[in-house]
Amino acid sequence: MKELLGKVDDPGIIDCSCLLKGKDVIVSSFSKSKRNHETIAKQTFSYIFLNVAKQKTKHNEAHLEIGGQRLSGFLLKPGLVLVCLSDKNLNITKVRSHIQHIKHLILQSEVDKMLA
């Protein structure tokens, strides 16, 4: 799963990323210097998407700016959130497009992991 984050992380688009399953980080490429961003993302996006599920809405994306960076959370399936850290000045459409391109690989990896 860690090698999959290598495909998510793309210089100039995504600096680092992690996968949340429920409230837990299951894999991460956040460096020690960015660990506080990961903690904020974990708390924020698990709360947001838990409430999205309770409200039965179709929101599947949320963003949070911290200093010069943007944390983005993408709900891949119920209980599975991909969190990405990028520059806040980067066009969000680039980030969104990159995640849509890679989403099927993450979901397939999750299925393969369950079958193993």
d(CA 81, CA 6): 16
pLDDT in the model for residue 58: 83
Distances (CA, A) of 50 to 23, 56, 84, 114: 9, 10, 18, 23
pLDDT in the model for residue 54: 83
pLDDT in the model for residue 110: 67
pLDDT in the model for residue 55: 85
d(CA 81, CA 13): 18
The DSSP annotation for 10-68 comes to BTTTBSEEEEEETTEEEEE---GGGHHHHHHHHHHHHHHHHHHHHHT----EEEEEETT
pTM: 0.89
pLDDT in the model for residue 112: 62
pLDDT in tens, the chain (116 residues): 677 788 899 999 999 999 999 899 999 999 999 999 999 999 999 999 988 888 888 889 999 999 899 999 999 988 899 999 999 999 999 999 999 988 888 777 765 665 55
